[in-house]
Structure 1
């Protein structure tokens, strides 16, 4: 499942003619994508290596959902070249004709090695993992194993939009536990949601996003321990989406949920997808705590046929050999967070933005701009910049937008210039 939502009617590149495009605000001229300067192929920052022309040749959702005059800063794809160790692994496999079905525990072993080196965690033992097509489909299979039709699933809104339709499509029901004003888990609100979810005796689950999408909040050890204690008290099973785990800001420590005492019955979904820009190479891992191994064993064997063999090869190579590339991306994202904060403070001071601790997403509170509940629509129509509408993230999302920071500093600068013109 992709990170974004389909573009609004009339915004798609293939269906929209030049005559259909709304004009720019009077007196405002926007730079074309090709006019935006980027770095060079030798730039140490992967976010500055690709030219606009190279990016426009891509055929993925980010680059084909909107017309060419729109800056696409929405869906969670990064404007980076593939990490060289990953590209080499895929190329070698293709040269061998190694394009069959996935097999073995190499991916799980690579994740275990990465987790130990990166987070000091020995938890993802290969014998307590299961390969799944991607994180969202893995969440579906895990929820099927631990809950039944009509059972409640608690989420912290505003949250990743696909949580809602995927859960409801399984005939489960969403119970919202809104984040606090500081965009962190609100213990009292979470307890109220757990109490409501378990009031009728159903098998309740809590779908936790860690790091949180869209806010970028990285939950602390203490916060996760409090979650585990509450879940144990109310008999709620915790399922954690940790797809953004490797993407954290400098000075921030990611804490795997299953590394916290009291989380033995929890289940996590992990993948190299977001950190290495591998969404098109499907593969993820479901990881069980020691007391949840039997739940994982109930996932049907045919689910393991869904991941791409090339995806498994790519994700394994990323975790084992792509950390130097990842560190360069993380350094570039740190710079982009600072850049965006400075640009907004200077040009759009009405936008509230707190540089996130994790993910490469920026959650912008635009309510004081007077652009209504869906400022993303205004920024697209008047400014030709595509952002995610906050309304799709559930309660608390209206008046907000989500901006993808995984691009060049020059593109971010142009995006803020367009947003400023659109809000004028």
Structure 2
């Protein structure tokens, strides 16, 4: 497979961030995206981007390494940096004095659920759901209650009636993923207020995974759950990070952000948890939230173009695939059921097309027949992935037609 990605250097247009590295350069990376599969496989699965670091972040990390600044982590100026970013981006400034450092968003969720629920408690999640939820909730003795999103002609929607039934049945907490992974749905303020009213009525604690909040496209707006004027919002706890938006996942730093009445819960997070974060992650994240917005704006322009490109490519080469452009994230949730490739089309495309997607069944039963596609890469690689997928599925279609003719 050929690749026309340019070598990295100064960026000057929105395509440069996503096409900064050639395929050979990317294959030198040691991250999971590029080491999980053999070199001949094109990976568009895990949520890593093929971008260079923002220059202010790179400079801060180089400076830290130069002074040997690799000890134990403290939050430092990160809570204040996030509070300022949130005020500029979302119109809500949480009190930084109540924010606590955690290693990553999933670790923060686990710690918060330990604090606000009891063993055996029911925790509602919307399916399809981020796969680690299915692993961690049983591991900490909490029961995952699966509440499917509704799939409509206009995309995925929150089913408030079904959510109320689960709350009324005795749920202790609601793990809200907003923006939602894998569908890219951004919950509107009306839906969030409805959730807050239900949570208040039934005494449910809301824990909000808002890791993708900086990655919202024009036409949608992220509303931090804690910013709502509602008692359940004041009792909520949000988990946030710079990791997805600035490609810092391996550096390990996130924040637990309490609503106005949840400070004591977040304050109870043990210092040992905070010290498990990475100091380089704290340094990089503080710079991301204070000086990384120009880079983020450039990234979003490139992702917006790729989001549209993916739709055009699918319409041309795989018109049977249902694609609802995400309102946020760089992850496309693709419905392959019409192709007849079984419950796990990602397995088909990996073995026969040389493309690695994230398997839909890992997101729960509603993911059967689906797969997740990461388009945070160069336009050429997005195109190559779709063309390889199309070629393999067309071969399957030809074999199916031959079998049907033979049966006559």
Under a length normalisation based on structure 1, what TM-score does the superposition of the two structures give? 0.89
2:60 matched residue in structure 1: 89
1:388 matched residue in structure 2: 358
2:3 matched residue in structure 1: 36
1:193 matched residue in structure 2: 166
| Contact preservation (8 Å) 2:19, 2:378 | yes
| Contact preservation (8 Å) 2:99, 2:266 | yes
Correspondent of 1:237 among 205, 223, 226: 205
2:23 matched residue in structure 1: 52
Any idea what SS the aligned residue of 1:62 has?
helix
Any idea what SS the aligned residue of 1:290 has?
coil
Correspondent of 1:370 among 328, 333, 340: 340
Correspondent of 1:75 among 34, 46, 70: 46
Structure 2 gaps of 5+ residues are: 395-408
1:354 matched residue in structure 2: 324
Shift of 1:421: 1.0
> Deviation string for 1:299-325 (max 9, x for gaps)?
222111111111100000111111111
1:168 matched residue in structure 2: 138
> Deviation string for 1:15-64 (max 9, x for gaps)?
xxxxxxxxxxxxxxxx2xxx211245345230011111211110111001
Shift of 1:94: 1.2
> Deviation string for 1:111-145 (max 9, x for gaps)?
001011111111x2112111001100000000000
> Deviation string for 1:159-202 (max 9, x for gaps)?
1010111111001101011101131211011111112234xxxx
Structure 1 gaps of 5+ residues are: 1-30, 199-203
Under a length normalisation based on structure 2, what TM-score does the superposition of the two structures give? 0.93
Shift of 1:99: 1.6
Equivalent pairs counted in the alignment come to 385
> Deviation string for 1:208-239 (max 9, x for gaps)?
00100000001111111111011111111000
> Deviation string for 1:321-354 (max 9, x for gaps)?
1111111110000000100001111111100001
Deviates more, 1:146-155 or 1:95-104: 95-104
1:26 matched residue in structure 2: none
Correspondent of 1:113 among 84, 88, 92: 84
Q: Pick closer, same or farther for the CA change 1:104–1:137 going to 2, 3 Å.
A: closer
1:215 matched residue in structure 2: 183
Question: 1 CA distance for matches of 2:357 and 2:261?
Answer: 41
| Contact preservation (8 Å) 2:74, 2:274 | no
How much is the aligned-residue C-alpha RMSD, in angstroms? 1.0
| Contact preservation (8 Å) 1:154, 1:197 | no
Any idea what SS the aligned residue of 1:175 has?
strand
Question: 1 CA distance for matches of 2:209 and 2:76?
Answer: 21
Question: 2 CA distance for matches of 1:376 and 1:61?
Answer: 17
> Deviation string for 1:245-269 (max 9, x for gaps)?
1011123211111111111000000
